[in-house]
Amino acid sequence: MEEIETNEAGLSIEQVADAAGDPVIVLNGELDISNADAFREAVERVVEEKPGRLVFDLSQLSFMDSSGIAVMVYAATNVGAIELRHASTIIRRVVEATGLSEILPLDAS
């Protein structure tokens, strides 16, 4: 597990790989405008590697605003596929309320 970023703004970002070898960005804390730049930088580093698929593990994410959604949309337009895993009910509602569920597919959990 490689820790990409930890900041005082309440978000930690780690990169791991899943069983298929796809990159997984694990978010812990709150993702908002105060730390969206760090998140975007982490995503850009992964996107530069041109993965066929990118997974976001949201199991430890307690809050996300539109700035986090914007970075995920950026990822979706620059990699073959993305998946949002283990999103809490509130994070699911944010994604669904934006109408971006097809661009930002949520897993069934």
Assign residue 67 the CATH number of its domain. 3.30.750.24
Please report the pLDDT score of residue 2 as a whole number. 52
105 lies in a domain?
A: no
Average pLDDT, rounded, for the chain: 91
Give the model confidence (pLDDT) of 4-29 as tens digits: 555 546 899 999 999 999 999 999 99
pLDDT band with cut points at 50, 70 and 90 for residue 108? confident
106 lies in a domain?
A: no
24 lies in a domain?
A: yes
108 lies in a domain?
A: no
104 lies in a domain?
A: no
Give how many domains the chain has, as a whole number: 1
What range defines the domain where residue 42 resides? 2-98
Structure tokens of 76?
């979706």
Please report the pLDDT score of residue 53 as a whole number. 96
Separation in Å, CA 101 to CA 26, 52, 66, 84, 87: 19, 19, 14, 10, 12
Mean pLDDT of 18-46: 96
Separation in Å, CA 82 to CA 28, 43, 64, 68, 106: 18, 12, 17, 14, 9
